[in-house]
Amino acid sequence: MLVITAMILIMAGTGTMLEYSVSFFGLDLGLVRYVHNKLSIYFTVVLVLMMITGLYMYIFPVLNRHKKQETNQ
């Protein structure tokens, strides 16, 4: 959870800097674009993994309840 939070903050910060062409803390916009581009791959992978595990956690109680009903019959 901490990893995706840090990535969200970095992606949002660099995305805002690119959108408005503003350089904070003296960072070059080329460097900001490079960081945003390279981090987006990892951000996507982590986000998809979190979506898959979240979907499993959402569906698991239903599957578990269904299995318990079958064994009780």
Binning pLDDT at 50, 70 and 90, where does residue 70 land?
low
Q: How far apart are CA 35 and CA 19, in angstroms?
A: 14
Rounded-to-5 percentages of helix, strand, coil across the chain: 90, 0, 10
12: tokens are: 């949002």
pLDDT of 41 reads 94
Q: Is the pLDDT of residue 2 over 80?
A: yes
pLDDT digits (tens, 9 = 90+) for 14-67: 999 998 887 777 788 899 999 999 999 999 999 999 999 999 999 988 888 877
Smallest Cα–Cα separation from 36: which of 18, 17, 14? 14
Please state, in angstroms and rounded to a whole number, the distance separating the CA atoms of residues 39 and 14: 10
Q: How many domains does the chain have?
A: 1
Query: Domain residues for 13?
Result: 2-72
